[in-house]
Amino acid sequence: MKNKYWNENIERMSREDMRKLQGIRLKQTVERVYHDSPFYRKKMQELDITPDDINSIDDIVKLPFTTKYDLRDNYPFGMFTVPMSQIVRIHASSGTTGKPTVVGHTRRDLAMWAECMSRAIYAYGLDESDIFQVSYGYGLFTGGFGAHYGAENVGASVIPMSSGNTAKQITLMHDFGATALCCTPSYALYLADAIRDSGYPLEEFKLKAGVFGAEPWTENMRKDLERKLNIKAYNIYGLSEIAGPGVAFECECQDGSHVNEDHFYPEIVDPETLQPLPEGETGELVLTHLTKEGMPLLRYRTKDLTALRRGTCSCGRTLARIDRIMGRSDDMLIIRGVNVFPTQIESVMLEMPEFEPHYQLIVDRVNNTDTMELQVEVRPEFYTDEISKMMAMQKRLYARLQSVLGLSVNVRLVEPRSIERSTGKAKRVVDKRKL
Ligand code: ADP
Ligand code: ZN
């Protein structure tokens, strides 16, 4: 019988052994940054701590946090802890404002990242017999390369498509018999529509799994994608500063994403007070590198909001799990005092069969009052010229949003295919208050 774990020793390690391993690796990392990173030495001196203060994983709370601003202040290579001659790859995240954040990887860092992605691939029930269509962008963005090297590492066949060129994506997916598709959930949706338009019957495709991530998405979006593409759709989580895709991955249980916690130690903190939160509570995910060479980060604040669970999963893995990311704290909209994430709106909207997961939120301020308009596409089978029917649909969605979120959102129903499609991360919010 096929082994369904890529690295069973680690993925099913007892909590006690894992904590020991994490403690040893944390100490090594702290020693490394104390000696090789002027930035961390200074931060640790300010807190009056030395590597001698770190003796188990519980001591992590003594360490300083790191933010995106620290990375920007040290642009471009100030956070690297090895000479440039040992750096074999440089990535950078786009960042919405200011300079990009730069990340450097040694050869061993890339092998570690591929290992993490390989565990994910096995957890999705995929292996060397699969054909991966990698439709994440290749470039400074980590999606393409991350999925690519992970799939090659397990011995699968890789089609390095990158994003865009949608018609060709469909032809090759069909002709080459791709069995796994790696891209953002919003691009997967776009591809699903394109398949429908292509004239190829869905049964002629060999696709069985989707490896979707790089942006927040909801359970309802998963159901939609699974139905439209006739696949199992799995979540993959990551960020360039830590490694790119493969930091955490779902298993067949689709009940939270397992964190590769022998490499990245996860904590959940209150984003205001930075105090650790009890297991199961939602807060900001903080990650610490345990094995990274090129640019180890201590307690990196991801801004991503989620909860952590350490219980053994039904798949047999003991690796801790994070819930779906609700959004980044930066994505939270405050509308007339009510806090709301685009994912909450997506979730409510997709409970109704009439709507497509193609939507945009237009936020503005009129006469000193915040306004929010949800533009959402009606599914072709529900779209009609009969105004009364459309109005009834709009009212139902309005009432649902009002009762679930406590917020009145102006709903504007738009024609199928009228909202701009994304080949990478979708732009869900247009905030005119900030323009
Ligand atoms: P950028 O900051 O330019 O978007 P990255 O490409 O590194 O840079 O994006 C990482 C971020 O993408 C994460 O911090 C998180 O907000 C989001 N993200 C990645 N994967 C997921 C996922 N599976 N679910 C929700 N959000 C995700
Ligand atoms: Zn599991």
- How does pLDDT run across 6-38, given as a tens digit for each residue? 999 999 999 999 999 999 999 999 999 999 999
d(Cα 139, Cα 136) in Å, to the nearest integer?
10
Side-chain-side CA neighbours of residue 17 (13 Å): 8
> What's the pLDDT at 99?
79
Give 77-136 pLDDT, tens digit per residue: 999 999 999 999 999 987 655 678 999 999 999 999 999 999 999 999 999 999 999 999
> What's the pLDDT at 183?
98
Least confident stretch, 19-33, 93-107, 178-192, 216-230: 93-107
Q: Is 102 in the pocket of ligand 1 (CB under 6 A)?
A: no
Cα–Cα separations (whole angstroms), residue 53 to 37, 39, 178, 274, 345: 18, 18, 51, 20, 46
Give 355-384 pLDDT, tens digit per residue: 999 999 999 999 989 999 999 999 999 999
Q: Which residues surround ligand 2, an ion (CB under 5 A)?
A: 251, 253, 313, 315, 317
Percent share of the chain, pLDDT over 70:
98
Nearest one of 356, 322, 363, 368 to 341, comparing CA atoms = 363
Cα(284) to ligand 1 centroid in Å equals 13
pLDDT (average), residues 35-52: 98
Token pair of 227, please?
A: 């139905």
Token pair of 92, please?
A: 């950078």
Token pair of 96, please?
A: 């919405």
pLDDT (average), residues 56-65: 98
> What's the pLDDT at 228?
97
Percent share of the chain, pLDDT over 90:
95
pLDDT (average), residues 253-278: 98
- Residue 1's pLDDT band (boundaries 50, 70, 90)? very low
Q: Is 144 in the pocket of ligand 1 (CB under 6 A)?
A: no
> What's the pLDDT at 378?
97
- Residue 2's pLDDT band (boundaries 50, 70, 90)? low
Cα(123) to ligand 2 centroid in Å equals 8
Residue 237 clears pLDDT 90, i.e. is over it = yes
Residue type, 166: T
- Residue 405's pLDDT band (boundaries 50, 70, 90)? very high
Cα(246) to ligand 1 centroid in Å equals 11
Q: Is 316 in the pocket of ligand 1 (CB under 6 A)?
A: no
Residue 350 clears pLDDT 70, i.e. is over it = yes
d(Cα 38, Cα 57) in Å, to the nearest integer?
23
- Residue 393's pLDDT band (boundaries 50, 70, 90)? very high
d(Cα 189, Cα 193) in Å, to the nearest integer?
6
The full length of the chain comes to: 435
> What's the pLDDT at 434?
75
Least confident stretch, 2-16, 197-211, 227-241, 386-400: 2-16
d(Cα 258, Cα 309) in Å, to the nearest integer?
9
This prediction has a pTM of: 0.96
| In contact, 411 and 397? CB cutoff 8 Å | yes
